[in-house]
C-alpha cells in the first residue's frame, strides 16, 4: 500500500524570493489557479507582513482558490500572525505557517536569544495563532543545523501548543541525503507526540541536493514536501516539485508513495511560471526542460524506435509534452490552426483566434515551417499584449561601427500616437532611450537575455528583461523573428506593469 504525500507548494512565497522574480497580484492568482488545477494540496501564497501588495495578493488567492489550502507565512510575532490571519481568513481552507530559528548560529548572531527564550516564543506564537485558526504549521528555521535534543524539544512543545504540521527546513541546503533522512527518522522515534502532527520538509538547493534530501525524508517518514515549480527560490532555489513528484511516480517500487498531482499539467505549469517570473528553464532541466525528451545520438534513436523504454523512463505525454509536431505553413487556414492549438492546450475564442491567426500568417511569411513551439510563443505573446498600455506602432533602427546607432520609435497610447528619435550604444539601447523620451520615464536595465523560443535559423527570438524604474523592479518579455523588435516589446511589456507610468505625461512628439 502506498502512503499519501502532501504537496505544499511555495512558488508564490519562497519562489518569488528569487532575485527579480517579483509578481503582481493578478500574476500570483494566475499561478495559484494553475497550481490548483495541477492538484497541489497547499498553496503558500506569500508573506503578508512583508508588504501591502503581498497582503492583498494572499487575500485575492484566498478568495479564489477552492480546491486547495491557502497558507500565509509569519514570524513568531503577534503582529505577523494578525496580518497572516487577515490574509487567509477568506480561504476555504486557510493555514498560518509560523517560523522561528532554532540553530545556535541563528540564535546567537541573528536573534540574540537563548534556548529557553526561543522555546517560550515558539509556544506562545503557536498558542496565539490557535485563537484564530486550527491549521497551524511551525518551522524551526535552520533545523538541519540545530542541536538534535533542542530540536526535538521545540517540536514536541509546539505540537502540544496546537501545531498540526511541523516543517523541518534545510534552510541553507547544508544537509546530505543520508543525514537528513536519519534526522526525520529520529524525529518519528524521539518526539513523544509526533503522531499528532504531519512531518513536512523544506529543502534548499545550495549543494544541489534539495530533491535528494526531500526524497530521503519521504523514505524516512515525512508526509509533506514543500517545493516550487522549476525549483525556483532563494539563492540556488528549492526542491523542484516536478522532479519530486515524478521520482515517486516512476519509482513506486522504491518509495511506495503517491501524490494527488495531475502530472499531465506539469510542463504547462512550468512554462507559465517561467513566463510570469522571467526565469528561463534550463534546456537540460529534468522533467520540464526542452531537452528532457530529446534524442540525438544514433544509438539512442535506434533504441527508442525499437522500444521506447530503452532510453525513456517517463513518457513525454505523462508530463504534458507533445510528441507530435504538426507542420503548418503560410497556406494553412484558420481551421487547421484552431485544431492544432486545441491539441497543444489553447482553446481560443473568436477574437483571440483572429489575432493569433494574423500573427501566424505574418510569421508564416517569414518562416517556411511553423512548429508547436512557434504556436505556443504566438499565443503566449498575445496573452501579454491583450492588456497592453503602450502599443508599438513601428520602429526604425540603424547602427554600425562607423556611426552612432540611431532609432525612431512610434507608440500608441490611448488612441494617440507619439514618436521620438534617439541615439544609443547600440540599436536596442537607442530604441529604449526613445521609449524613455516618449514616456517621460527612465528605466535602468538590470538584466537582459535573448534566446531562441523555437527551432530553425528563422526561429522566433524571445527577449526577457528586468528593468528598474524609480527603485521598482519589473520584468518584461517579447517575441519576434527580429530580436530588436522582441527587445522593444519586452521593454514595453515591463513598462505596462508600472501602474503610475500609465498616467505619466508623454513627452514625445506627436
User: What is the residue extent of each domain of the chain?
Assistant: 3-277, 293-321, 324-385, 391-503
Instruction: Write out pLDDT tens, residues 50-79.
Output: 999 999 999 999 999 999 999 999 999 999
Q: What is the pLDDT of residue 480?
A: 85
Q: What is the pLDDT of residue 344?
A: 73
- Residue 435 reports pLDDT greater than 60: yes
Whether 142 and 175 have beta carbons less than 8 Å apart is answered as no
Q: What is the pLDDT of residue 325?
A: 38
Strands annotated E in 195-346 = 198-203, 224-227, 257-258
What is the average pLDDT across 474-486? 87
Q: What is the pLDDT of residue 359?
A: 77
Range 3-277 has CATH code 3.20.20.70? yes
Q: How confident is the model at residue 504 (pLDDT cuts 50, 70, 90)?
A: low
Instruction: Write out pLDDT tens, residues 188-231.
Output: 999 999 999 999 999 999 999 999 999 999 999 999 999 999 99
Cell of 121: 516564543
- pTM of the entire predicted model: 0.78
Of 223, 214, 290, nearest in space to 247 by CA: 214
**Do the domains spanning 3-277 and 391-503 agree at the CATH topology level?**
no
- Residue 455 reports pLDDT greater than 70: no
Q: What is the 3-state secondary structure (H, E, C) of 258-285?
A: ECCCCHHHHHHHHHHHHHHHCCCCCCCC
CATH topology for 391-503 is: Double Stranded RNA Binding Domain (3.30.160)
Q: What is the pLDDT of residue 54?
A: 96
Q: What is the pLDDT of residue 501?
A: 55
What is the average pLDDT across 282-309? 73
CA distance 1 to 435: 62
- Residue 327 reports pLDDT greater than 90: no
What is the average pLDDT across 368-397? 74
- Residue 391 reports pLDDT greater than 60: yes
Q: Region of 155 please: left (phi>0), alpha (psi -120 to 50) or beta.
A: alpha
Instruction: Write out pLDDT tens, residues 136-178.
Output: 999 999 999 999 999 999 999 999 999 999 999 999 999 999 9
Q: What is the pLDDT of residue 363?
A: 76
Give the CA distances from residue 252 to residues 88, 201, 224, 292, 379, in Å, rounded to whole numbers and listed in that order.
35, 20, 17, 21, 37
Amino acid at each position: 500500500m502506498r502512503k499519501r504525500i502532501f504537496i505544499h507548494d511555495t512558488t508564490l512565497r519562497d519562489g518569488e524570493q528569487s532575485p527579480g522574480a517579483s509578481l503582481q497580484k493578478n500574476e500570483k492568482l494566475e499561478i495559484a489557479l494553475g497550481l490548483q488545477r495541477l492538484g497541489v494540496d497547499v498553496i503558500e501564497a506569500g508573506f503578508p507582513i512583508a508588504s501591502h501588495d503581498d497582503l492583498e495578493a494572499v487575500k485575492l488567492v484566498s478568495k479564489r482558490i477552492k480546491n486547495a489550502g491557502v497558507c500565509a507565512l509569519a514570524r513568531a510575532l503577534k503582529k505577523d500572525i494578525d496580518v497572516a490571519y487577515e490574509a487567509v481568513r477568506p480561504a476555504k481552507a486557510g493555514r498560518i505557517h509560523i517560523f522561528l530559528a532554532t540553530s545556535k548560529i541563528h540564535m546567537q548572531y541573528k536573534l540574540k536569544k537563548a534556548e529557553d527564550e526561543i522555546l517560550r516564543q515558539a509556544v506562545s506564537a503557536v498558542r496565539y495563532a490557535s485563537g484564530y485558526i486550527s491549521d497551524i504549521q511551525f518551522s524551526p528555521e535552520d533545523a538541519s543545523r540545530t542541536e538534535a535534543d533542542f530540536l526535538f524539544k521545540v517540536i514536541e512543545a509546539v505540537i502540544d501548543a496546537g501545531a498540526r504540521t511541523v516543517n523541518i527546513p534545510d534552510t541553507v541546503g547544508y544537509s546530505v541525503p543520508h543525514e537528513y533522512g536519519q534526522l526525520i527518522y529520529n524525529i518519528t522515534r524521539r518526539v513523544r507526540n509526533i503522531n499528532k502532527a504531519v512531518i513536512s520538509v523544506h529543502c534548499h538547493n545550495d549543494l544541489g541536493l534539495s530533491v535528494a534530501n526531500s526524497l530521503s525524508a519521504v523514505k524516512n517518514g515525512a508526509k509533506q514536501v514543500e517545493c516550487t515549480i522549476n525549483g525556483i527560490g532563494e539563492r540556488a532555489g528549492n526542491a523542484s516539485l516536478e522532479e519530486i513528484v515524478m521520482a515517486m511516480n516512476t519509482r513506486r517500487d522504491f518509495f511506495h508513495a503517491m501524490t494527488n498531482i495531475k502530472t499531465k499539467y506539469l510542463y504547462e505549469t512550468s512554462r507559465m511560471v517561467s513566463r510570469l517570473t522571467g526565469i528561463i528553464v534550463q534546456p537540460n532541466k529534468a522533467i520540464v526542460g526542452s531537452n528532457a525528451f530529446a534524442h540525438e545520438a544514433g544509438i539512442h534513436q535506434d533504441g527508442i524506435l525499437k522500444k521506447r523504454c530503452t532510453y525513456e523512463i517517463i513518457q513525454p505525454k505523462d508530463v504534458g509534452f507533445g510528441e507530435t509536431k504538426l507542420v503548418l505553413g503560410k497556406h494553412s487556414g484558420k481551421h487547421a490552426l484552431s485544431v492544432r492549438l486545441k491539441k497543444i492546450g489553447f482553446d481560443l475564442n473568436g477574437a483571440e483566434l483572429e489575432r493569433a491567426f494574423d500573427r501566424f500568417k505574418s510569421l508564416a511569411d517569414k518562416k517556411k515551417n511553423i512548429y508547436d513551439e512557434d504556436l505556443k510563443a504566438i499565443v503566449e505573446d498575445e496573452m501579454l499584449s491583450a492588456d497592453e498600455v503602450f502599443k508599438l506602432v513601428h520602429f526604425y533602427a540603424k547602427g554600425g561601427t562607423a556611426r552612432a546607432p540611431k532609432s525612431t520609435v512610434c507608440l500608441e497610447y490611448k488612441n494617440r500616437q507619439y514618436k521620438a528619435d534617439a541615439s544609443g550604444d547600440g540599436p536596442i539601447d537607442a530604441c529604449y532611450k526613445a521609449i524613455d523620451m516618449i514616456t517621460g520615464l527612465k528605466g535602468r536595465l538590470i538584466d537582459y537575455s535573448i534566446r531562441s523560443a523555437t527551432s530553425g535559423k528563422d526561429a522566433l527570438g524571445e527577449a526577457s528583461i528586468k528593468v528598474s524604474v524609480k527603485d521598482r523592479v519589473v520584468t518584461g518579455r517579447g517575441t519576434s523573428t527580429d530580436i530588436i523588435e522582441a527587445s522593444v516589446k519586452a521593454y514595453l511589456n515591463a513598462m505596462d506593469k508600472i501602474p503610475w507610468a500609465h498616467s505619466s505625461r508623454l513627452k514625445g512628439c506627436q
